[in-house]
Amino acid sequence: MKERFDTLSATCSKETTRLYSTSFSLGILFFNKEVRRPIHAIYGFVRLADEIVDSFHNYPKSVMLAELKADTFRAIERGISINPVINSFQQVVNQYGIQHDLITQFLNSMEMDLGEQSYDAEKYEQYIMGSAQVVGLMCLHVFTNGNEAEFERLRKPAMKLGSAFQKVNFLRDVNADYQELNRTYFPNVNLSAFSDENKRVIEEDILSELNEALSGIRQLPRSCRKGVYLAYVYYKQLFRKITKVPAERVMSERIRVSNGHKFYLMFDSLIRYKLNVL
């Protein structure tokens, strides 16, 4: 009967992904079937931790995050959790041999959000590594399915992709992070006087990482390449929209890509994929 609970767990992770991210949900649809379930599980777990630090303002966040960490590693050791999202995640960790230090680094970055209000260059890189790059590596474990040589070959571009996605998110959400959560991620940047020059420097860094990540996407297994490329296309379009507006506007509204445009990008990227012109 545990199979029925495992099915429930996978469904919870899938619905979490669908509810919180249209872009990733559509991208995952273009993975081979055997890849979708574990990627949903990783996203569901990451989202669970992110919700604690970003949304549960009237609750003991630090206690809840510590409980999540303890529950997660206990579930990995036992091979089961009564929390469906953690249960589906522990299955993926055990099946694909995801290193426990990647999980620890991720949760440590989430903990930084509980206390850190601004970041210097060192803490910024530490946060990016834990909040984004290790998530890319978790997914890469699934994509390479235990092939250590392939994992190591694709490690750096996977990290660059996670980093670029996170930095695009930072730019998109810079106003909400600063005004509502009192967070300043970009080092040596005064957001109360955020300038076009500040924005340009950040954008150059993101563009460099996106370009480096694309070379890795082209080398991914066919089981996942199309879906990862689609997510890349979505983020690249969001990035382009952000680059076209002044810093003042970025600090006053959330730039987004409409769902209709996302569907256009989906079909365009599928054509490019079939023509092998990624």
Per residue in 196-216, pLDDT (tens digit) is 999 999 999 999 999 999 999
Q: Calculate ∠ Cα 61-65-70, nearest 5°.
A: 150
Burial of 93 (C-beta count, 10 Å sphere; 0-12/13-18/19+)? buried
Neighbours of 94 (CB within 10 A): 13
The token pair at 47 is 């989202």
What pLDDT sits at residue 268? Answer: 66
Give Cα 24 distance to the centre of its chain. 9
DSSP symbol at 139: H
All structural domains of the chain with their residue ranges: 2-274
What pLDDT sits at residue 274? Answer: 63
What pTM does this model have?
0.90
Cα–Cα nearest to 159, from 182, 202, 189, 129: 129
pLDDT at 4 over 90: yes
Q: Is domain 2-274 in CATH 1.10.600.10, yes or no?
A: yes
pLDDT at 105 over 90: yes
Cα–Cα nearest to 217, from 149, 264, 160: 160
Mean pLDDT within 20-43 = 90
What pLDDT sits at residue 2? Answer: 87
- In percent, the amount of the chain with pLDDT more than 70 equals 94
pLDDT tens per residue across span 166-191: 999 999 999 888 888 888 899 988 88
Mean pLDDT within 24-50 = 93
